[in-house]
C-alpha cells in the first residue's frame, strides 16, 4: 500500500488524509473538480459531481489531466466507473452550444441523435421554434435563452453559450496608478489574469462566468478590472448597503470615474448612473408577498454592458428569474465558494456562467499576496444557570443564548493576554455582549452608532500600534477602511454565514511585513445551536484551504 493522500471510491467520493505527504497539493487540485462535503480533523471527504466536472471543463481542465492526477495521488487503483464518470461529464460540456446562425439563436450539437431526443421531449418543446433549423441545430426562441439552459442542465446536459452579448452603452474610464491618498495602485498578476480570462479578447467565449478567489484576494478589484476591460456601463449587485458603499469608494479611489458616474440604488438613495450599485435585498423587495418586485426595472433602466453579481453564492432565488431574462447581457459572478446553501449551483452555472477562473489559496499565500492564516475554534460550556433557559427556548433564541454565553468574556481576556504584542480585533454580533466585553477588557468599541470622526481616530490609533485591542460590531464585516490586524477573536456571528466568515477572516489576511501568521479565533458554546452553525463555517474555511483546529477551552489554561 502506497503513502499517497487520496482514496478514490466507486461512489464518486474521494477521501483525503490530512496528515499524508502531498495532501496540500492534492487538496488544491481537488478543489478544481470536486466538492468538499466533510472536513473533520484527519480525513476530508470530497465528491465528484457532474456540476463540479462541468466547472472544471469550463476552466480548461480535461479528462486526462483529472484522471492522471487521481491515479497518481490515490493509494489504491481508481475505480473504472469513476474514470468513466469524469470522461463522460467532460464530454458533455460543450456538446450542446447556443450560437448565432443567420442572425437567429440556435442550439447546435455534433450529436444528431441527442438533438432528435431533445426535439421530441414534450417538456422542452416550448423553448424551440416549430419550423426546422439547419442540420445539426434547433431554433431557440430568443426570450427563452436562459430558460432553455436551465431546462437542459436539469437533464444532465450543460449548454455552452456562444451566442454573444449586447455591447451595452459605452463608458470610457481608466485605472489609476495612484489612489486618491497617493498610495501606489496596480493590479496583481492573478487579478490581471482573471480579468483577461473573463474578457477572452471580447469574443463570444468571454464575458460571462464566475471568478472564484479566496478571502482577502481582492475580488472587488477583479470586478473593477473586468468592467474596465469591457468599457461599458455596469450594474453591480451586492449583499448590503455597506458593501454598496465599499464598491463605490473603491471605484472612485482606484479609477478615474467621477462621483456623478457612480450611483447608489438603495433605500437611502436611488441614483441610476453609468455605474449603478444596488443590493439583492433591494431587488427582492415587494409591497405584498405575492406582488411584483418593485425594483426589477433596474435591470433595464440603462443599456448595461455587464451585470456584476458580488458574492454570487448568496444570490437570492427571485433574482434568478430576472437573470434568465437578461441573457443577452454579460454577467460576472464573484465568490469565494461555488457552494450554495439552497443547492442551486446549477442555476448559477447556467444563468451567470461557469467557473472561469480560480486560484488555490496556498498559491497566493506562497506568493505573499495574503497572510498565512490559522483558524481556531474554542469550545466552552454554557453556565449551569442558563441551561434550563436554553432548553426551554425556541431555536432562534437558543442560538442567541449560546452566542452571548457570558463565559466568553473570560476566554476573550485570556486570548488578549496571550497576544499582548499583537494587533487584536474582537468582532461580534450582539451589542449588549460587546458593551460588556468593552467594559471588562477596557477597550474601545466601534458600532454603527459611532461617529465617523471618532471611528477614524480609533482606526488611526490601531493602525499605528498605539491601540493594541479594538472591538467592532458587524460594521467590521465590510468596512474597507478597517485597519490591519493579525489576530481576530469572533465572539458571535450570524448563523454560520459563509459570506460573513469570508469578510471577517479577510480583515486579517493582508500580508504582514514581519511575516507573522494571522490567527482567527471563534468562540463557540459546546453542544448548542451555535456549534451546529459553526460546522458550516468550518466547512467553508477548510474548503478555502485554511487549517482549522478545534480546542476545548481548558487547553487555553
Query: How confident is residue 13, by pLDDT bands cut at 50, 70 and 90?
Result: very high
Predicted local distance difference test score (pLDDT) of residue 510 = 64
Greater pLDDT, 42 or 126: 126
CA distances from 17 to 39, 46, 132 (A): 10, 11, 55
Check: CB of residue 364 under 8 Å from CB of residue 214: yes
Given a cut of 60, whether residue 253 has pLDDT beyond it is yes
Structural domains of the chain sorted by starting position, each given as residue range(s) with its CATH number in brackets = 6-91 (no CATH), 96-161 (no CATH), 189-365 (3.40.50.300), 371-556 (3.40.50.300)
Predicted local distance difference test score (pLDDT) of residue 365 = 78
Compute the distance between CA of residue 218 and CA of residue 369 in angstroms, rounded to an integer.
10
Give pLDDT tens digits for 500-542.
555 666 666 666 556 567 888 999 999 998 888 787 777 777 7
Q: What share of the chain is helix, strand, coil (3-state, %, to 5)?
A: 40, 20, 40
**Angle of the 50-58 helix axis to the 80-92 helix axis, nearest 10:** 50
Predicted local distance difference test score (pLDDT) of residue 176 = 97
Mean pLDDT to the nearest integer, 462-475:
87
Question: What radius of gyration do the chain's Cα atoms show?
Answer: 25
Query: How confident is residue 276, by pLDDT bands cut at 50, 70 and 90?
Result: very high
Greater pLDDT, 318 or 431: 431
Give pLDDT tens digits for 17-53.
988 999 988 988 998 899 888 777 788 899 999 999 9
Given a cut of 50, whether residue 481 has pLDDT beyond it is no
Give pLDDT tens digits for 303-351.
999 999 998 888 888 788 778 778 889 999 998 877 776 778 888 898 9
- The 8-class DSSP code of residue 427 comes to E
Predicted local distance difference test score (pLDDT) of residue 37 = 82
264-296 b/e (C-beta count within 10 Å ≥ 16 → b): bbbeeeeeebbbbbbbbebbeeeeeeeeebebb
| Sheet containing strand 424-427, strands side by side | 445-446, 469-472, 424-427, 487-490, 518-525, 373-380, 547-552
Query: How confident is residue 419, by pLDDT bands cut at 50, 70 and 90?
Result: very high
- Three-state DSSP string of 333-400: EEECCCCCCCCCHHHHHHHHCCEEEECCHHHHHHCCCCCCEEEEEEEECCCHHHHHHHHHCCHHHHHH
Predicted local distance difference test score (pLDDT) of residue 59 = 86
**Angle of the 189-199 helix axis to the 219-230 helix axis, nearest 10:** 40
Which residues share a beta bridge with 368?
A: none
Given a cut of 80, whether residue 418 has pLDDT beyond it is yes
Given a cut of 60, whether residue 496 has pLDDT beyond it is no
Q: Which one, of 413, 425, 546, lies nearest residue 476 by Cα?
A: 425
**Angle of the 529-543 helix axis to the 395-403 helix axis, nearest 10:** 70
Given a cut of 80, whether residue 479 has pLDDT beyond it is no
Residues in the chain: 557
Q: How many other CB atoms are found less than 10 A from the CB of residue 308?
A: 25
Percent of the chain whose pLDDT exceeds 90: 56
Give pLDDT tens digits for 195-219.
999 998 777 677 799 998 877 788 9
Query: How confident is residue 395, by pLDDT bands cut at 50, 70 and 90?
Result: confident
Amino acid at each position: 500500500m502506497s503513502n499517497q493522500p487520496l482514496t478514490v471510491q466507486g461512489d464518486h467520493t474521494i477521501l483525503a488524509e490530512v496528515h499524508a505527504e502531498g495532501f496540500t497539493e492534492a487538496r488544491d487540485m481537488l478543489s478544481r473538480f470536486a466538492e468538499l462535503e466533510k472536513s473533520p480533523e484527519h480525513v476530508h471527504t470530497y465528491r465528484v459531481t457532474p456540476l463540479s466536472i462541468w466547472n472544471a471543463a469550463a476552466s480548461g481542465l480535461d479528462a486526462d489531466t483529472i484522471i492522471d492526477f487521481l491515479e497518481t495521488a490515490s493509494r489504491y487503483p481508481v475505480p473504472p466507473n469513476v474514470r468513466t464518470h469524469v470522461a463522460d461529464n467532460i464530454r458533455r460540456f460543450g456538446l450542446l452550444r447556443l450560437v448565432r446562425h443567420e442572425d437567429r439563436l440556435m442550439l447546435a450539437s455534433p450529436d444528431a441523435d441527442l438533438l432528435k431526443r431533445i426535439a421530441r421531449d414534450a417538456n422542452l418543446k416550448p423553448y424551440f421554434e416549430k419550423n426546422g433549423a439547419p442540420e445539426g441545430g434547433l431554433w431557440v426562441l430568443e426570450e427563452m435563452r436562459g430558460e432553455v439552459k436551465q431546462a437542459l442542465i436539469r437533464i444532465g446536459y450543460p449548454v455552452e453559450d456562444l451566442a454573444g452579448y449586447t455591447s451595452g452603452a459605452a463608458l470610457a474610464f481608466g485605472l489609476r496608478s495612484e489612489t486618491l491618498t497617493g498610495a501606489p495602485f496596480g493590479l496583481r498578476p492573478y487579478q490581471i489574469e482573471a480579468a483577461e480570462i473573463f474578457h477572452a479578447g471580447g469574443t463570444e467565449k468571454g464575458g460571462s462566468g464566475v471568478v472564484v478567489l479566496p478571502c482577502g484576494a481582492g475580488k472587488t478589484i477583479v470586478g473593477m478590472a473586468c468592467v474596465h476591460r469591457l468599457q461599458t456601463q455596469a450594474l453591480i449587485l451586492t449583499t448590503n448597503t455597506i458593501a454598496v458603499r465599499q464598491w463605490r469608494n473603491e471605484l472612485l479611489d482606484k479609477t478615474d470615474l467621477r462621483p456623478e458616474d457612480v450611483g447608489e440604488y438603495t433605500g437611502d438613495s436611488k441614483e441610476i448612473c453609468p455605474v449603478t450599485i444596488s443590493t439583492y435585498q433591494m431587488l427582492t423587495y415587494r409591497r405584498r408577498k405575492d406582488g411584483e418586485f418593485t425594483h426589477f426595472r433596474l435591470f433595464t433602466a440603462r443599456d448595461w454592458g455587464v451585470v456584476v453579481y458580488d458574492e454570487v453564492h448568496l444570490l437570492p432565488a427571485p433574482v434568478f428569474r430576472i437573470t434568465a431574462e437578461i441573457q443577452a447581457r454579460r454577467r460576472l459572478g464573484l465568490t469565494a465558494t461555488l457552494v450554495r446553501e439552497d443547492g442551486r449551483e446549477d442555476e448559477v452555472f447556467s444563468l451567470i456562467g461557469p467557473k472561469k477562473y480560480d486560484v488555490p489559496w496556498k498559491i497566493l499565500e506562497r506568493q505573499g499576496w495574503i497572510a498565512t492564516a490559522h483558524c481556531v475554534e474554542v469550545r466552552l460550556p454554557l453556565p449551569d444557570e442558563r441551561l434550563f433557559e436554553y432548553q426551554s427556548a425556541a431555536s432562534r433564541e437558543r442560538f442567541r443564548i449560546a452566542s452571548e454565553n457570558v463565559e466568553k468574556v473570560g476566554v476573550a481576556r485570556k486570548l488578549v493576554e496571550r497576544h499582548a504584542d499583537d494587533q487584536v480585533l474582537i468582532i461580534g454580533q450582539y451589542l449588549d455582549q460587546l458593551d460588556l466585553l468593552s467594559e471588562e477588557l477596557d477597550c474601545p468599541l466601534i458600532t454603527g452608532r459611532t461617529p465617523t470622526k471618532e471611528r477614524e481616530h480609533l482606526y488611526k490609533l490601531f493602525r499605528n500600534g498605539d491601540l493594541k485591542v479594538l472591538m467592532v460590531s458587524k460594521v467590521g464585516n465590510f468596512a474597507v477602511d478597517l485597519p490591519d490586524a493579525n489576530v481576530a477573536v469572533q465572539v458571535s456571528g450570524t448563523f454560520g454565514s459563509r459570506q460573513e466568515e469570508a469578510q471577517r477572516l479577510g480583515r486579517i489576511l493582508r500580508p504582514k511585513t514581519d511575516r507573522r501568521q494571522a490567527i482567527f479565533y471563534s468562540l463557540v458554546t459546546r453542544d448548542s445551536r451555535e456549534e451546529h452553525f459553526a460546522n458550516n463555517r468550518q466547512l467553508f474555511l477548510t474548503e478555502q484551504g485554511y487549517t482549522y483546529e478545534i480546542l476545548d477551552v481548558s487547553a487555553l489554561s
